Amino acid sequence: MARNTRQRILETALALFNAEGEPNVTTNRVADELEISPGNLHYHFRTKADLIEALFDDFEHRMLQILSAPEERPADIEDIWFLLHVAFETIGEYRFIYRDLTDLCGRYRGLHQRFRGILRLTMEAARSLCEDLIAAERMDASPSELDAVIRNIALVSTFWLAFDQVHDADGVRPDRAAWQVMSLISPYLVGEARTLLQALADAYA
């Protein structure tokens, strides 16, 4: 029963943080929504920081799984496309983290370090995938071009949600985000990899 309450608190907090922004939701608000006493919530999460950390644990666990999936063979375009979709779906589920990222990292120092870890792993995964494509002569990019692409992939992935919100909020669209990141790689693709991406693009449009 206690375990169940803990899980319900996490789910409700996540939904409220996503809908209204983490800075605008107090732990009392979460308790109200669940119709439990603030003391009961306090029993499971002593502070709001503890609650946020538990949500970040779940998010981090899922992102690490996605980004460090074992590779049985060199990656292809479909693998990258699939990885991007899964990653952006997860980011969408925990979008409160990405909405006010600099603010959140400023207020919760521990999170900043851990988010940097996820970012580093994202860049390593992107590099590994691109290097597979280059080795298979499906991509043509110089080392300095590859560095720029990796950095742009990390930047666009991280701030896609915030950009949508500032520019013209229209909800979370993992497929659009995946496509936007793909567009950073596409000009460097050659031969059938380029044809394949065009087919994916047509299927998407």
Nearer to its own copies (CB atom), residue 19 or residue 155: 155
Angle in degrees, 0-180, between the axes of helices 77-93 and 192-204, rounded to the nearest 10 = 40
Beta-bridged to residue 81, according to DSSP, are: none
Min separation Cβ 20 and its own copies, Å: 10
Question: Which CB sits closer to its own copies, 46 or 116?
Answer: 116
Measure the CA–CA gap between 183 and 168, rounded to whole angstroms. 20
CB of 185 to its own copies, least distance (A): 10
Own/partner pairs, 24-31, CB within 8 angstroms, 24+ separation? 27/51
CB 88 within 8 A of CB 8: no
Pick between residue 54 and residue 101 the one whose CB is nearest to its own copies. 101
d(CA 92, CA 152): 20
- Residues in contact with its own copies by CB under 8 A are 21, 23, 99-103, 105-106, 112, 115-116, 119, 141, 144-145, 148-149, 151-152, 154-156, 158-160, 162-163, 165-168, 179-180, 183-184, 186-188, 201
Using alpha carbons only, give the angle 115, 60, 158 rounded to the nearest 5 degrees.
45
Shortest spacing between CB 162 and its own copies, in angstroms: 5
Min CB(143)–its own copies separation in Å: 12
> Of 45 and 96, which CB lies nearer to its own copies in the complex structure?
96
